[in-house]
């Protein structure tokens, strides 16, 4: 099995990149090594197959400028990030990061306290709908928002009862 260095040497020989002394040594090696001959033939076939199919890429700048941009970017990324000293003054942004969430929670607590201590003027959420089981029974409801009081009068609609519409069966006061 041929090592990677020998394979690269054959590629450099094929590309014409070897000096004359190394070129002669590779030719002598090729004359006696069948595996090297097979690899060289494969590299030549691959080169012929790729001829004319490769895209010629033209850079908008010179080769040196292109590689210098890459080198500058690599150097920029390799620079260590500055270490923040613990003795630096506390910035305004640190205070904002700490107090903004706290003030949001405090505002929510204040809003909930206002709703609990001073519920809205409507008592609709305190009483569900009433349903009277008998068709002969009726009810009148009076709500006094100022005194936070609701009064309900139940009466017999048929008039057969000893009670009349003007005399209540039950009164419910809620404060």
In tens digits, the chain (175 residues) has pLDDT values of 789 999 999 999 999 999 999 999 999 999 999 999 999 999 999 888 888 776 677 777 888 888 899 999 998 888 777 666 665 556 777 777 778 888 888 888 888 888 777 655 454 445 555 565 667 777 788 888 888 888 887 777 776 555 444 544 455 555 4
Planar angle of CA 101, 103, 108, nearest 5 degrees:
100
Locus of tokens 């260590």: 80
In a domain, 43, yes or no: yes
Give the span between the Cα atoms of 125 and 113, in whole angstroms. 18
The pTM for the full model equals: 0.33
**Polymer length in residues for the chain:** 175
In a domain, 154, yes or no: yes
In a domain, 137, yes or no: yes
In a domain, 8, yes or no: yes
How many domains does the chain fold into? Answer: 2
String of b and e for 130-145 (b: at least 16 CB within 10 Å)? eeeeeeeeeeeeeeee
Give the span between the Cα atoms of 80 and 67, in whole angstroms. 22
Query: Domain end: 30, 50, 70, which one?
Result: 50
The range of the structural domain enclosing residue 10 comes to 4-50
In a domain, 108, yes or no: no
In a domain, 38, yes or no: yes
In a domain, 19, yes or no: yes
In a domain, 40, yes or no: yes
């Amino acid at each position: 099995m041929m090592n990677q260095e020998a394979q690269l040497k054959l590629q450099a020989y094929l590309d014409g990149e070897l000096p004359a002394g190394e070129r002669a040594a590779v030719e002598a090696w090729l004359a006696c090594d069948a595996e090297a001959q097979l690899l060289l033939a494969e590299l030549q076939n691959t080169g012929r197959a790729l001829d004319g199919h490769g895209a010629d890429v033209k850079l908008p700048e010179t080769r040196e400028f292109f590689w210098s941009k890459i080198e500058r970017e690599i150097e920029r990324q390799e620079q260590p990030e500055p270490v923040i000293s613990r003795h630096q003054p506390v910035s305004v942004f640190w205070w904002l990061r700490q107090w903004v969430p706290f003030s949001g929670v405090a505002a929510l607590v204040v809003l909930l306290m206002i709703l609990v201590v001073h519920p809205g003027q409507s008592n609709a959420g305190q009483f569900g709908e009433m349903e009277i089981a008998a068709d002969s029974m009726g009810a009148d409801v009076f709500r006094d928002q100022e005194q936070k009081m609701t009064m309900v009068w139940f009466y017999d609609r048929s008039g057969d009862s000893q009670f009349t519409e003007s005399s209540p069966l039950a009164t419910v006061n809620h404060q």
